[in-house]
Structure 1
Amino acid sequence: MLKCAFRRRALPARVVQQRWATTTQQPFPPDINEWSHPPTNATISDEEIYRLAAKPRRPLTLADLVKHGKPPLRDAALLSSANFTLSLLPSRLAHRIQALRNLPFIVVSNPNVSKIYNNYLHSLSTLEPFYRKPIDSIEDEMNFTEAMADLVRTHSNTIPTLAQGFLQCRKYVEPAEVTRFLDQHLRARIGTRLLAEQHLALHMASTGDAIKQKPDPTHVGVIDLAARPADIVRRCEGFVAEVCEYKYGVRPSLVINGDKAAEFAHIPMHLEYIITELLKNAFRATIESGNEKEAVEVTIASAPDVSTTKLESLKKLSVNNENSYDFSQEGLDEYCSDPDDPMGSLHSAAPCITLRIRDRGGGISAETLPNIWSYSFTTFNNEEAAAIANGGYGSDDSDGLSVLSNTGADQSSIAGLGYGLPLSRAYAEYFGGGIAVQSMYGWGTDVYLTLQGIASTQQIREAPNGFEELEMEKKQGKE
């Protein structure tokens, strides 16, 4: 029986306000049967995990993330954001713990996979004191935000860590099972991380020195109400072109046509990840096919006369064991029957923007095309993949693991372990979009990225923020 000892990793400097008191860490006596799953120092009981995992998991929409208003938020809105976050997170964390436990024990015992398992247990244990009762004071909200900052730091390295773990266990798990598990797990991680980051962003914009500065009228936490795909494409182009110049000595050109002024509400960091990955593929194929003089072409189109509402789209979904949605059927039914939609955004037509990325990189062969959505598919050969799985750097391309991280820091590879495209599709589909690939082998590839935004953003943008509301109330009181 493989038995591993785990240590808590040191947390970096805090991202929350320095005036907060330091949380005292209590020792965690092991209270888990080590034969049922890997040892852990978390205090939460198996019974509590089962209870939380069985709860309905409601969908998360962009409309949910902006419903608390524009920052800086007043105290009541900040408490509402904290309680909304807390209403969704515990069951999501518990569900992922259960999914990890359902893997073969030899896989969960792998140090990398087990690290992720223990990270989820740690985060759920940290949240347990908060979800026992509503957060009804700013002091509780500040402590909860500290826990959210810890959750984001704890799970910041999930993707590359899981990648290494599954590479090391690839002889114990079928590739189809790896794809299914990772698709579900990484989609669930999108929602979990987004909930925490949105509350953190709202808190930081509503406290400390931030309230003394003029707020950005188009940002609500991590959401940009006026995101321009053309601007994001140009930013991503600069980064990918620098990587190409470093690795290949050439910089492919890129042209943008279509509706360059199109804008909608979305999450810039998601769009940047998706577009960066798609441009990496296009630029790399263009260079390696010897067609670097042919520009990569990005066309932007806004869909006219969209009539389907977000609520109608949600009602058409069906959840089963085969798909990978980050919610349960019970949670979906509960969400669609909830009359509480104060902004009406679920009942309005959601704008849709499509980007076509066209390259002259020679296209994708018929043998390769069926594998592009598989997390187990890689452009590396077996020796290179094994070198990365074991932490080695045996070839010029062996730093490709860095592309699995969405931090954007120090990434110097074009090729990867095959996670970029399926993970990009997961980000696109999370809020109702998608990615489709059409390839003409011997010529090039067209990738269609469809994105759904929020309806009625003008109403949100023109609404007063919390401090403007307070000033208006004071003025009306004097009158």
Structure 2
Amino acid sequence: MCLKKARLFTVGTFHNSFAIPKCPLQRNFASLPNRNLNQKFYENRVLDRYSSQDAKKVSLRQLVLFGRQLTEDKLLSSANYVRTELPVRISHRIRDFQSLPYIAGTNPHMRLVYDLYWQAFDEIRKFSQIRSLDDNRRFCKMLSRNLGTHSQVIPQLGLGVNECLTLITPTEIDQFMNKMLVARISRRTLAEQHIALSNQFDEDILSVSGESSLDHAPLGFSTQRTGIVKPACDIAQLLHGCAIKIQAQFEDAYDLPPDTAPQIVIEGNRDASFMCVPDNIEYIVYELLKNSMRAILKKGQANKGGVNADALPPIFVTICSNDQDITIRVSDQGGGIPYEILPHIWSYSNPEKLHCMDNFNQVNKLEAKVSESERTSPFLSFGFGLPMSRVYAQYWGGDIVIRSLPGYGVDAYITLPRLGTMVENLSID
């Protein structure tokens, strides 16, 4: 019988006197790093110093305002904020790993993610104070390298969760995964925003001075940039772009003639705009449209013995907005979600998703961006799409609500703040 309640009290392995029954998921225990006790003690003391601090949350509006009149001093201030803030956020997630049941913590996929977090924590916290543009360029290269390495995290977490379903309760799995994904979004937001501002700043220096690697900006130089944030995102345009990609992807998958996939009708307040990180919103919209398109085509295939493009009902996407919020409704007639599945759609540990999580074996990296989804089959599901979409929405103070009429269709409601004044929601359960 596997031991489920033992906890990872130290960074390294347990004391030798602690008896561990044999279990399949214990297979990599012998290969764990055998650090000496002094090293373990030192590492935990360092981790304590960071994990005892609270994250300094930011809002989209703060990120945008910071980029206005961007000077060298402000850019270096941004770099040092990211340099000191990321280790704090990573340390909290390392503590979450250490609180997993012992057997789950030694799962090879979980252990890989844990080690990646430790490496990033160590590398970023040890980076010296950033005092020049050249320092900042080196810092951005290090951040970019870490972002690339951490694109393994989602597939590895998916495989790890799949193998640990009998070792952790569904509630514990869902809470753990939500914390991991929220932290991942928050770290990528800070890192990608700073990298984008830095690249844009260097581009503007080049256009003025003709030099791209100055150690300091020309005297009095400033520019206006917003990084990865779009202050007035045209939501109808974003929806239209996602619709075209979805239709093309399913026409290819079902071998349909061009422009014969179910129509996606965008209606309502098409002039609405809001402040957002477009990549985040595209992921949410793409996931919901993909689910609707797949359901409609699957239902049409079952009813007709093959897909009859002329008989397929459209997907309606309705935009509503007021001064504070914007709501997007995605409505389909794809048959709805069965009552027995509906309560589990937000869970990562739903037994219905077991075969989906096995699909993580087919991908080495996943950054949760639409550009990746376009390159994979729409039939390839990982079981993380809806939960991750809701995490994206809730992270900036929004939400997703699903209403299903089994046998008929689904209405999905995405609500998001318009003004960008909500700070990051880092405590999603």
TM over 0.5: yes
Are 1:129 and 2:135 an aligned pair? no
Are 1:285 and 2:306 an aligned pair? no
Aligned match of 1:371: 344
Inter-partner Cα distance in structure 2 for 1:111 and 1:375: 19
1:193 alignment partner, SS class? helix
| Matched-pair contact (CA < 8 Å) for 2:78–2:194 | yes
2:393 alignment partner, SS class? helix
Question: For residue 232 of structure 1, what is the amino acid of its counterpart?
Answer: L
**Structure 2 gap segments, 5+ residues each:** 1-9, 16-28, 209-222, 304-310, 422-429
Inter-partner Cα distance in structure 1 for 2:117 and 2:363: 26
1:301 alignment partner, SS class? strand
1:354 alignment partner, SS class? strand
Query: In terms of mean alpha carbon deviation, does 59-68 or 120-129 score higher?
Result: 59-68
**Structure 1 gap segments, 5+ residues each:** 1-30, 307-350, 392-398, 457-479
Q: CA deviation at 1:235?
A: 1.5
1:188 alignment partner, SS class? helix
CA RMSD after TM alignment: 2.9
Query: In terms of mean alpha carbon deviation, does 360-369 or 35-44 score higher?
Result: 35-44
| Matched-pair contact (CA < 8 Å) for 2:246–2:289 | yes
Q: CA deviation at 1:400?
A: 9.0
| Matched-pair contact (CA < 8 Å) for 2:159–2:358 | no
| Matched-pair contact (CA < 8 Å) for 1:274–1:427 | yes
Aligned match of 2:52: 54
Aligned match of 1:259: 269
| Matched-pair contact (CA < 8 Å) for 1:400–1:416 | no
Are 1:297 and 2:316 an aligned pair? yes
Q: Matches of residues 40-439 of structure 1 in structure 2 within 5 Å?
A: 45-70=43-68, 73-130=70-127, 134-208=129-203, 211-212=206-207, 220-250=226-256, 251-290=261-300, 293-303=312-322, 306=323, 351-377=324-350, 384-385=355-356, 388=359, 391=361, 405-406=368-369, 408-409=371-372, 410-439=375-404
CA deviations over 1:172-196 (Å, ceiling 9, x no partner):
2222221111011101111011101
| Matched-pair contact (CA < 8 Å) for 2:93–2:179 | no
Are 1:34 and 2:31 an aligned pair? no
Q: CA deviation at 1:40?
A: 8.5
Q: CA deviation at 1:47?
A: 0.7
Q: CA deviation at 1:259?
A: 0.9
Query: In terms of mean alpha carbon deviation, does 284-293 or 294-303 score higher?
Result: 284-293
> Normalising to structure 2: TM-score of the pair?
0.77
Inter-partner Cα distance in structure 1 for 2:192 and 2:412: 29
Inter-partner Cα distance in structure 2 for 1:402 and 1:47: 32
Q: 1:166 to 1:242 in 2, by over 3 A?
A: same
2:266 alignment partner, SS class? strand
2:318 alignment partner, SS class? strand
| Matched-pair contact (CA < 8 Å) for 1:66–1:220 | yes
| Matched-pair contact (CA < 8 Å) for 1:354–1:448 | yes
Aligned match of 2:4: none
Inter-partner Cα distance in structure 1 for 2:271 and 2:64: 23
Question: For residue 154 of structure 1, what is the amino acid of its counterpart?
Answer: T
Q: 1:121 to 1:440 in 2, by over 3 A?
A: same
Q: 1:219 to 1:106 in 2, by over 3 A?
A: same
Question: For residue 317 of structure 2, what is the amino acid of its counterpart?
Answer: V
Query: In terms of mean alpha carbon deviation, does 202-211 or 424-433 score higher?
Result: 202-211
Identity %, equivalent residues: 33
Query: In terms of mean alpha carbon deviation, does 437-446 or 424-433 score higher?
Result: 437-446
| Matched-pair contact (CA < 8 Å) for 2:356–2:383 | no
| Matched-pair contact (CA < 8 Å) for 1:82–1:141 | yes
Q: 1:203 to 1:433 in 2, by over 3 A?
A: same
Inter-partner Cα distance in structure 1 for 2:364 and 2:299: 23
Query: In terms of mean alpha carbon deviation, does 84-93 or 351-360 score higher?
Result: 84-93
Inter-partner Cα distance in structure 1 for 2:146 and 2:51: 18
Inter-partner Cα distance in structure 1 for 2:145 and 2:363: 28
Q: 1:403 to 1:416 in 2, by over 3 A?
A: farther
Q: CA deviation at 1:405?
A: 3.9
Inter-partner Cα distance in structure 2 for 1:219 and 1:414: 39
Q: 1:220 to 1:112 in 2, by over 3 A?
A: same
Q: CA deviation at 1:373?
A: 0.6
Q: 1:33 to 1:118 in 2, by over 3 A?
A: closer
| Matched-pair contact (CA < 8 Å) for 2:158–2:357 | no
| Matched-pair contact (CA < 8 Å) for 2:60–2:420 | no
Aligned match of 2:426: none
Q: 1:211 to 1:269 in 2, by over 3 A?
A: farther
Inter-partner Cα distance in structure 2 for 1:400 and 1:139: 36
| Matched-pair contact (CA < 8 Å) for 1:286–1:361 | yes
1:206 alignment partner, SS class? helix
Inter-partner Cα distance in structure 1 for 2:102 and 2:381: 28
Inter-partner Cα distance in structure 2 for 1:210 and 1:359: 49
CA deviations over 1:128-173 (Å, ceiling 9, x no partner):
2237xx4333333223222211221121221111101111222222
Instruction: Compare the two structures and name the one with the higher helix fraction.
Output: 2
Inter-partner Cα distance in structure 2 for 1:56 and 1:47: 17
How many residues end up aligned between the 2 structures?
A: 364
1:173 alignment partner, SS class? coil
